[in-house]
Amino acid sequence: MGIIGLGPHGERAAPPERVVLLPNDIAMARRKKFRVAIIMHTLESDWSKQLVTGIIGTLGDAGAIVVEVVDCSFSAEAQIHALKRIRLMQLDCVISLPITSEAVADAHRMIAESGTRLVLVDNVPSGLLPSKDYASFVSADNYGLGMMAAEMLSEHIPQNGSIALLGYDKEFFATNEREISFSRWISTNRPDITTNIYHFNSIRTVGQLAKDLLTKPYCPSGMFVVWDTPCVEVLKVMNQIDNHVPITTIDLGSEVASSLAQNGPIKGISAQRPFQQGESIGKTTVTDLLGRKCPDWVALPGLAVRQSNVAESYQAIWRMPAPRAILDGLAPRKNNLNSEI
Amino acid sequence: MSQNQTNQQRQRGRPKLNETAATSVAELLGFVRKHQALTRLELEKISGFGRAVVADRLALLSELGLAHENETGISGGGRVPRMVSFSKNRAVLVVASIDQSSISVALSDLTGKLTAQHHEPGDLGLDPSDGADRMITLIRLMLSRQTKLPELWGISISVPGPIGPSENGSPLTSTPDFLPGWNESKLVERLIAEFSVPIWLMPSVNTMTVGELHGGTSENNDCMLFIKTGKRFTAGLVYEGRPYKGATGAVGLIGQLPATHEGILGTLDSLAGAEFIEQAALREARNGTSEQLTDLLNRGGELTLNEICQAAQLGDTVCVSIITASGKLVGTALATLLNMLNPKCVILAGALAQTNDIFLAAVREAVYGASHPLVTRDLQILQSQLGNTAGLLGSAHICLNALFEPKMLRGWVMMGTPLMHPDIISIMQPKIVSEGLV
């Protein structure tokens, strides 16, 4: 699947193949011994861990040293503090996932103005421009991910049904794109379905929001949650009140993947490829540090994961065998298939 | 006779305070908004008004929510001064852009800074009413996402064609036919009916030029040539820091310049534009001269400008040669303009310029080969860094210039909102009622 969406400034996406490190590049980078810091919104999620692994490995291949990996715990203040501190270290490059668009903009601009190169992941703070303020922006095709999730959920929604879209209320490029494209796909392809949008401001509040929706008289026929961590909270609420409606989400975390495999409420997952994204970020960083221009936006296509391909998708995305919970969920289906034969 | 009656007698025949104060309030707000004065003392100096008048007008501006004095400055020897600031979040503007292949919507504060933006693919060749529907849906979405939404003061849209006499900066009451069929979409009428705010439409080359002037590589450049590439080529000229409009507003139709390619005489649009490039690539793909193009054709069924530019960037020699030929034609045409205008910098924007460096290199080569050395000695030829954001940024500034134009500002400043300006009210009311759009 190609890249469907446009970048934060309306850019056309460049595929990850556009940023390639040749043996000469790697040799040159090794001689320069670049020093890099990585600043993440969180290091708790599977996605973050895998992304950071991809970055660190690729930078390591090119002899670049990762001097610090910061976990900002979704706090804009923590990110601003980390950026101010790291600016004084006079590193070659900072790789950052900006937590919001507005609050952290000045802190990121200060990094750019200090001469340290900046590579952004998944979000671009307001007012920052490619080439001028940052070297490149690397993300998944979030617009495409939202469309995939809409298509997979629509298969489980009855005629004239309704969907509750649980979006994130922060101004954040990736989640905004998913929300907008999901709504667009439904209104274009299933105009009979009503999509109602609700926003949560933190993972702590999403459970209560889902509970309110699922216990009201006109319960939605399905739900879309913009990423997997809040989706896990929604799943907990569904189990608690014993009201399961079909859900789709983004990111193939272990818990949502298990629900998909075990024929739970999760009916489909639009998966990002965090390890490959991490590799692309690493290559983009080295390319820029060697003085070569990088594309303004490098985007990776998503992967539509259904029950039929959840195990192999898990392996492809996480680079490890699928956990027992997923394989056990799939096993009966295989037995049934054998007995039918 | 009571004190009240005495005062009324004294004031008889004199203009009311809100009539006389409007000029000074508007003038002071102008200084604050443009950062020309940051303290009461500076305002007194620059305006020539007395201390009492400045204090009174600032109190009024604060009451209207247009300025505030919350921060303190650095003392110059006496008391620490209070800094006067323009209340940039007093209201919000919606800015949007329709292009050949995309649609964009953003929110802007009252300084023209974009606080949220979204771009998505869209085909302008489809039914204009679908395009209008999508734009209205996106505007609703963007506004609904804001937890604290200030008052909406206007909607400004960048469109890919001329809009006729309305280019003088006035808000519109009906949808111009900027492309065939768009007046039937009733975009402007529907926006007025739904949002009850003034609507501006401007050709995209104008908005992008203004956008580059306010936030791009050539920020505050007083002599700049902006070239938009893609299906058609258009240009915007900034002269002495302001966009040059020409006698009838038809500046920059450079796509109509004559060009010759392999002995064929045509225009720049027909021999170097996106359609020509796509056709050339399609021929090469069918001939099998480029493995990559043939593969793209077999997989996707069509070849887009973006794919061709990407293939060129990845080293496909056929694509490199097609893009280079286009760049040289543009560069040759550009050299003529440069020899005449001698700008400080040229900004290349649009799909053709921003997806690859090969086009830029070819333009530079042709320009340097055909220009007088004095013209190119300090000339910068650059890619736009703003992308589609240029049109949004420009739309915001065009809208702000119209709202804060001195005469317009005097008409609404005492009410605190341009929506109460008599001209704005008269523009909106009859339209909403007569067309039954409510």
**pLDDT averaged over every residue in chain B:** 87
Asked if the Cβ–Cβ distance from A10 to B145 is below 8 Å, we say no
> pLDDT by residue (tens digit) across B103-128?
999 999 999 999 999 999 987 777 88
**Domain identity same for A97 and A191:** no
Searching chain B, which residue's CA lies closest to the CA of residue A179? Answer: B141
Helix (H) or strand (E) holding B332: helix B317-341
**Domain identity same for A126 and A227:** no
Region B347-365 average pLDDT: 90
Q: Does residue A9 lie in a domain region? A: no
For position B295, what pLDDT does the model report? 84
Q: Does residue A4 lie in a domain region? A: no
**Domain identity same for A82 and A171:** no
Asked if pLDDT for residue B12 goes beyond 60, the answer is: no
Contacts of residue A309, Cβ cutoff 8 Å, sequence gap at least 6: none
For position A131, what pLDDT does the model report? 84
The one-letter amino acid code at A175 reads T
Please report, to the nearest 10 degrees, the dihedral formed by the alpha carbons of residues B265, B266, B268, B274 taken in order.
Answer: -110
The one-letter amino acid code at B323 reads I
Asked if pLDDT for residue B364 goes beyond 60, the answer is: yes
Q: Which of B182, B208, B200 is nearest to B94 (CA)?
A: B200
Quick check: pTM over 0.80? yes
Q: Does residue A7 lie in a domain region? A: no
> pLDDT by residue (tens digit) across B31-85?
999 999 989 989 999 999 999 999 999 999 999 999 998 777 777 777 778 889 9
Asked if pLDDT for residue A339 goes beyond 60, the answer is: no
> pLDDT by residue (tens digit) across B270-294?
999 999 999 999 999 999 999 888 8
CATH number assigned to the domain covering B219-385: 3.30.420.40
The percentage of residues in chain B with a pLDDT greater than 90, rounded to a whole number, is 56
DSSP H helical segments within chain A, as ranges? 23-32, 46-61, 76-87, 105-113, 142-154, 173-189, 203-215, 228-241, 254-261, 274-289, 310-318, 324-340
Residues in B touching A11 (Cβ below 8 Å) = 354, 387-388
> pLDDT by residue (tens digit) across A297-308?
999 999 999 999
> Token pair of B357, please?
């460096």
> pLDDT by residue (tens digit) across A139-173?
999 999 999 999 999 999 999 999 999 999 888 89
List b or e across A24-55, with b for residues whose CB sees 16 or more CB atoms inside 10 angstroms: ebeebbeeeebbbbbbbbbeebbbbbbbbebb
The CA distance from A148 to the nearest CA of chain B, in Å, is 16
User: Rounded distance, CA B165 to CA A167, Å?
Assistant: 43
Which of the four pLDDT bands, split at 50, 70 and 90, describes residue B437?
A: very low
Closest Cβ opposite residue B118 in set A132, A180, A187: A180
Question: Under CATH, which architecture does the B3-86 domain have?
Answer: Orthogonal Bundle (1.10)
Asked if the Cβ–Cβ distance from A8 to B386 is below 8 Å, we say no
Least confident of A263-267, B72-76, B207-211, B370-374: B72-76
**Domain encompassing residue A102:** 16-139+274-300
CATH 3.40.30.10 is held by the domain B91-208+390-434: no
For position B372, what pLDDT does the model report? 94
User: Rounded distance, CA A256 to CA A234, Å?
Assistant: 11
Closest Cβ opposite residue B121 in set A6, A8, A129: A6
**Domain identity same for A215 and A99:** no
User: Rounded distance, CA B394 to CA B40, Å?
Assistant: 31
Residues in A touching B355 (Cβ below 8 Å) = 12, 14
Q: Does residue A161 lie in a domain region? A: yes
**Domain identity same for A232 and A283:** no
For position B3, what pLDDT does the model report? 56
Region A123-127 average pLDDT: 92
Asked if the Cβ–Cβ distance from B386 to A129 is below 8 Å, we say yes
Region B299-311 average pLDDT: 82
Domain boundaries along the sequence of chain B:
3-86, 91-208+390-434, 219-385
Q: Does residue A155 lie in a domain region? A: yes
The CA distance from A327 to the nearest CA of chain B, in Å, is 34
- Comparing B3-86 with B219-385, is the CATH topology the same? no
**Domain identity same for A240 and A282:** no
For position A280, what pLDDT does the model report? 97
Asked if pLDDT for residue A235 goes beyond 70, the answer is: yes
The percentage of residues in chain A with a pLDDT greater than 90, rounded to a whole number, is 81
Which of the four pLDDT bands, split at 50, 70 and 90, describes residue B167?
A: low
Asked if pLDDT for residue B356 goes beyond 90, the answer is: no
Higher pLDDT, B17 or B274: B274
**Domain identity same for A216 and A182:** yes
| 3-state SS class at A11 | coil
For position B122, what pLDDT does the model report? 87
A132 touches chain B (CB under 8 A): yes
Asked if pLDDT for residue B367 goes beyond 80, the answer is: yes
> Token pair of B50, please?
């007395």
The percentage of residues in chain B with a pLDDT greater than 70, rounded to a whole number, is 91
Q: Which of A159, A166, A165 is nearest to A190 (CA)?
A: A159
Q: Does residue A118 lie in a domain region? A: yes
**Domain identity same for A315 and A216:** yes
Domain count, chain A: 2
CATH of the domain at A34: 3.40.50.2300
**Domain identity same for A131 and A110:** yes
Residues in A touching B127 (Cβ below 8 Å) = none
Searching chain A, which residue's CA lies closest to the CA of residue B215? Answer: A127
Closest Cβ opposite residue B389 in set A9, A15, A197: A9
Contact B245/B167 with Cβ under 8 angstroms?
Answer: yes
For position A143, what pLDDT does the model report? 96
Q: Does residue A10 lie in a domain region? A: no
Which of the four pLDDT bands, split at 50, 70 and 90, describes residue B168?
A: low
Contact B48/B28 with Cβ under 8 angstroms?
Answer: no
